[in-house]
Every structure is written in structure tokens, then in C-alpha cells.
Structure 1
């Protein structure tokens, strides 16, 4: 079983006003890596600074099971929030700030250089993403995976969409984080590489331009770990959605590796077309047409997600993740994404502060219609987790 782990970026917010607070340094100083997790079942999460002081990153350990990863996702959110509370703040799983914000840069050599070089792009980049790492056996296998998952990544943007507000206004997008993130010079989809040698050659040539030292591709070989790193998703408002995205990414990697081993050629669709698919997913999320990963033409979100589900179903069955993924996809179809939830919170009384307050609650507690995490979350439900989930017939 391939191991996988995630990196979640969160906003540090004022619990009353909803404004982002530059308290990452305080939160990190309160973090004691030598302290054991309270329940002794989940190892203590790793916390890290991000580009701005209004953000904190929580990094899980590698896991073989979805239940173990899901438990650590929950524990990591709660741990970071407990530290933020001590500093007079809260942690919210928001991919952009609903409230207007003037970010405060984290001061170190790396981030100082980014700020100097990239100017307003860096100064405004108060965005929180969600990165999934999946183990690969070699760089050659990893690049073969990158070449074969490209067209399947935009649906993950739609499923995770959680950033409708930007600088105090509704952006009109489900994932405006995707738009802001794509300001970076190497952000977005890539063309087919064909080999690890070609991949590393391009990375080296990009570095030689003097603009970037590490490319911000939608998916790439990790710099520090023997993994493929998929970077397209918003941080998910609901931790259950985070577990879903991780399960789908692992299944995509496993499926792609199998195609490579079987000698199946990758889809040679140009990156420029894939960028249109990412734009559609960013604009409408699950509420509009997406670009179909096979035909590369607009199709309903239901048909696109049904195609994704079918594409990875064998891998999901092999890992035991199929029941959880089926239930989670149905839940999102019926109840919406984080972007939908944020807009619903705003519509109640027109308060962006209430949007942040609601998001903070959802980030750390199960909604009323919750499915417990851990092993219970992975149990089969005969009504909604049949092996082949007919997503096209689900009612709104």
C-alpha cells in the first residue's frame, strides 16, 4: 500500500472580528515537538511557518490507511487551534480570507528574497492550500505518474473549492485561491515530460532563469521526500473533505503507476487546454460545467466526477477506501463544498465576520450530519456505498 500524507495551511483569525492575525510566531513558540499527543494514538503533528504571519501549516506523518490519516488531520487541526487559543486567536480552514487583510511577511532569508523578487504577487499571497504527498518507488515512476494524472486534477479543485471571498468581497469564483496562486510564474499544469531526465532538465533550466528555484507546478516530485506532491486543492473547510481529496489523489497515483507499468501512453493534451479545465473548476466549483478529463470538453460536474470515480475505482477497492469515497462524493453533491457553505453563512445576515466564525466551527467540529472519523468513517453503508456509485442519479 502506498503511503500518503498531507500539508494543510490555515488562517490564524480573531475569534470576534474574523480578521487575520499575524501570530504564527507566537503559535510556533507554543508548539512543543517533544510533547506527546494526548491520546497517544496519533503522533504529534509538525507545525511550520508560511509566507505570511497570518498562516500556519500543519504537516502529517505518512500513513498507510485512510483512517489513520483522517485521524491525524483532525488531531492536527485541533492541536494548532489549541495553541492559537492560547495566543488569543483561532485556526480556520479558509483558503482565502473573507475579511480585508494586509498580510505581514514571515522574516527569513527565503521569504525575504521572495518578497523582494515577486513584489505584489508575494505581498498579496495570503492563500491556504492543501498538498497531498503519495509515495513512489523512483523518480521515473513519479514522472510517469505526473504525466498521467494531469487531466484528472481540475476536478479536485472543484471538490475542494473553499475560497469565494477575496479582500472583503465575493470574487464570483468558487476557488479564488486558484486564481491568486496562478500569479506565480511556474504555477499551473505541465506538458508531458516523458522521463525523469526530461523533468529534471526542465527544473534545472527554470532555475537557471533566475526567477524560481523550485517550480510551483500543479503536481511535482517532492523536493524532500520520495513522493509525488499534488498541490491543486484549496484547504478544505470540512476535514472529511480533506480525507476524500487525499484518498482520490492516492488512487490517481496508483492508477497512473499501473498504466505506466502496462505500457499505456499518457494523454498528450496540451497544458494550455488543462489550464482551461482548472479555470472552470476555479470559477464554478461543483455548480457549473467542468472540463471532462477524457474528452476535454465541457460536461456536467456529475458526469466529470463519475468519470473520475470510475477511473480510480479499482485502486480505491484495493486500498479499502471505496466506501468512504463514495459516501463523501454523495455528501458533497447533496450539501455542497466549503465555498457553498461560506456563501450560505454570508447570506444569513450579510456578515463576513459570521462567515469566519462559522468556518472556524466547521474546521474543528463535526457538522450535525457528521460521519465519525477513524474506522467508523470507513464502514460500509449499504444504502450509499455500493461498489459502483451512480453519481448522475443523485438528487440535489
Structure 2
């Protein structure tokens, strides 16, 4: 990683909702026509819009752009009688009335995956951290993997699914893991070793192109970054920044370790990584997590504090130490998005109240 601070960027996915019915609205094409900006793109489902930030070195600068993108999106959506919602799943949807974005690739994916595609009514948030060397990026992956469940727990925002409480903080995770390449990956000896696996997966016919590698963390297919893919979309920009700062700290610390040339750490078993991810999806920040490397169990806030302490030198080197600590305190003080949604529901037993709260939080970006 050298002495230069890694840059970071964020992709955010937003559901589009009819604010009167609170149902998902398949109106992305019309909305994108109003925006006319390459930073806004469509996704597989016509009820989803994605925003793409520029790469930044400062968390505050990244936050400024994320809020600017949300303001533009919310303004254009309001003109079209729509509302964007940054959560993993929305509580209310008429799945039979939704449709895919017209695209040959999406049509082929629907033919191949059927119900998995039809129920892809989920939104995530991806963080990119610059890594100048692909061999280094591959070496970083197993070193950061044991901490990814904590980042998932911070982001958990999808307790409701098609009109019912799933019992999970992040039901999006369970829906997402139905894809054949979703979940933990590696370890790999080199970028060439990783590329051979990707080529083998494409050759198998199970996936049709390299863009369908959905590992929890992966070298990007098109830019020199390591990409985090495990998180729900977050209604609060502050939670996005917390995850981004922590992930950059993890990548920085792991890069230092890999560059030092010491022995590779013993990889954590994939079964334990999947189990820790399931635990985070089930419990979120209000329950208990476990660390798949050493088997320790702790309340989620304590696990978050343990992570911050573990990567403190990297956070300090990136100029993120004080900011990340403040963001973590704020996140723990307000509770997770999943918990806030359940609290909103208990007031009247109305899922419309949940949707209204998430519309409000998504739009409250300063």
C-alpha cells in the first residue's frame, strides 16, 4: 500500500417507491431520463437506481458527494411522484407487477436463474478502496474477510420482506446468497490464480460473464480497487461513511501485513465465514456476533469497538481515526436501521409507517 492513502468510492442502490401506495415502482427508466447524468444508472430491476461516487481520499469529501447525489435523486424522483429508499429490502412490494430493465444480459440472466432474478428486489451498498497491485489485492482478501460480518451488521436494514417480518436484521443477505458466486472466496496464491478460477466459473456455464462474480470482497473487474459487496444499502449517509472508513482501514492494515513479506496467515475456513455472516444477518447490531478467526463471541457493539482498536494504526494513517470513532458512537446511539424500522412498526402495526420512515431518512441528507 506504500505511504499513500488509498482512495475510496461508493456505489449506492436505491429502491423506487410510490409514496402513496408505498409499493415498489418500476419507473427507473423514466427517472434516469430526468437525471441525464452518468453517475446515475439502472439496475436489473426497473424499481432500482444506482449512484456512483467519484474516488476520494477524505471521508468528508466522499460524504459531501454522496449527499449531493441523494439530493439530485430525491429532487428528480419527487418531480416524477416517486421516492428513493436506501434499504436492503422494502416492506411492501407486488412482485408480480415488477419487470426487468430491458437489456440482453438481464434477459439471459432471467432465463438462467428464474426465481432468483424475479425476487432480486434487494439493494446493497458497495465500497471501493484503491489497491495499486492486483496480486496485493488478492493477498488482502483473506486477511479482511473475518471482519466483514461486522460491516454487514452495521449496515443491516432489511428486516421486512414482502409484507412480513423475516426475523432477520438483513434478509437481503439471505436473498443475495442464492446466487452461485455470492459469499466468501479464496484464498488465492496470486491474481493469476484468482483469474483462472473466474475463467473456470465462466467456462462451467454456471455464470455467463466475469461481472457475475459476487464474492463478499473481490478485486474489481474494471477499476484498480478492492470492492466490498457484503452490505445492505444504508438510509443514513453516516453509516455509509462508517463502513467505508472501516473497510479502508482493514484494507490498509492487511496491505501492510502482506507487503511486509511475512508468512501468510492460516485462512479461516469458509464454513466459519459463512456462519459468521449468517449470524450478522440474523442479529445485526442488536445481537451477538462471533469472530470466525478466533471463535470469540461478543455483543455487536463490543465487536465493533474491537475492530476499531485492531486497525487503529491504519485509521490514523488514513486520517480517519477521530471521524470513525465519532461515526461509530453515532451509529450505536441511534441503533441499526433494522431496529428503527421495527420500532416504527410497533407504533401502529403499519408497514406504511416503516416505508415512510425510510423515505424520510434517505432524503435527510443535509
- Post-superposition CA distance 1:117-140 (Å, at most 9, x none): 000001101100000001111111
Partner of 1:244: 242
- Shift of residue 189 of structure 1? 0.6
Partner of 1:339: 338
C-alpha distance in structure 1 between counterparts of 2:136 and 2:186, whole Å = 16
Q: Is the 8 A contact 1:191 1:270 kept in 2?
A: no
Partner of 1:287: 286
- Post-superposition CA distance 1:128-171 (Å, at most 9, x none): 00000011111111101112111111111101000000000000
3-state DSSP class of the match of 1:12? strand
- Shift of residue 333 of structure 1? 2.0
Q: Tell me how many residue pairs correspond in the alignment.
A: 356
- Post-superposition CA distance 1:237-266 (Å, at most 9, x none): 111101111111111111110010112423
- Post-superposition CA distance 1:176-203 (Å, at most 9, x none): 0000000000100113112112111111
- Shift of residue 348 of structure 1? 1.1
Q: How does 1:16-95 map to 2 (within 5 A)?
A: 16-33=20-37, 46-95=39-88
C-alpha distance in structure 2 between counterparts of 1:352 and 1:203, whole Å = 41
3-state DSSP class of the match of 2:114? helix
- Shift of residue 230 of structure 1? 0.6
Q: Is the 8 A contact 1:164 1:176 kept in 2?
A: yes
TM-score, reference length from structure 2: 0.94
3-state DSSP class of the match of 2:9? strand
C-alpha distance in structure 1 between counterparts of 2:14 and 2:36, whole Å = 19
Partner of 1:97: 90
Partner of 1:141: 136
Structure 1 303/267 Cα, relative in aligned 2: closer, same or farther at 3 Å? Answer: farther
- Shift of residue 293 of structure 1? 4.7
Matched, 1:183 2:178: yes
Partner of 2:17: 13
Matched, 1:194 2:189: yes
Partner of 1:154: 149
- Shift of residue 319 of structure 1? 1.6
Stretches of 4+ aligned residues off by more than 4 angstroms: none
Matched, 1:223 2:226: no
Partner of 1:40: none
3-state DSSP class of the match of 2:12? strand
3-state DSSP class of the match of 1:21? coil
Of 247-256 and 273-282, more deviation after overlay is shown by: 247-256
C-alpha distance in structure 1 between counterparts of 2:256 and 2:80, whole Å = 48
Partner of 2:231: 233
Gaps of at least 5 residues in structure 2 are none
- Shift of residue 349 of structure 1? 0.9
TM-score, reference length from structure 1: 0.87
- Post-superposition CA distance 1:18-56 (Å, at most 9, x none): 1110110001111123xxxxxxxxxxx700111101110
- Post-superposition CA distance 1:217-243 (Å, at most 9, x none): 001111110110110010111111011
3-state DSSP class of the match of 1:153? helix
RMSD: 1.3
Gaps of at least 5 residues in structure 1 are 34-44, 367-371, 373-396
Structure 1 83/148 Cα, relative in aligned 2: closer, same or farther at 3 Å? Answer: same
Q: Is the 8 A contact 2:53 2:66 kept in 1?
A: yes
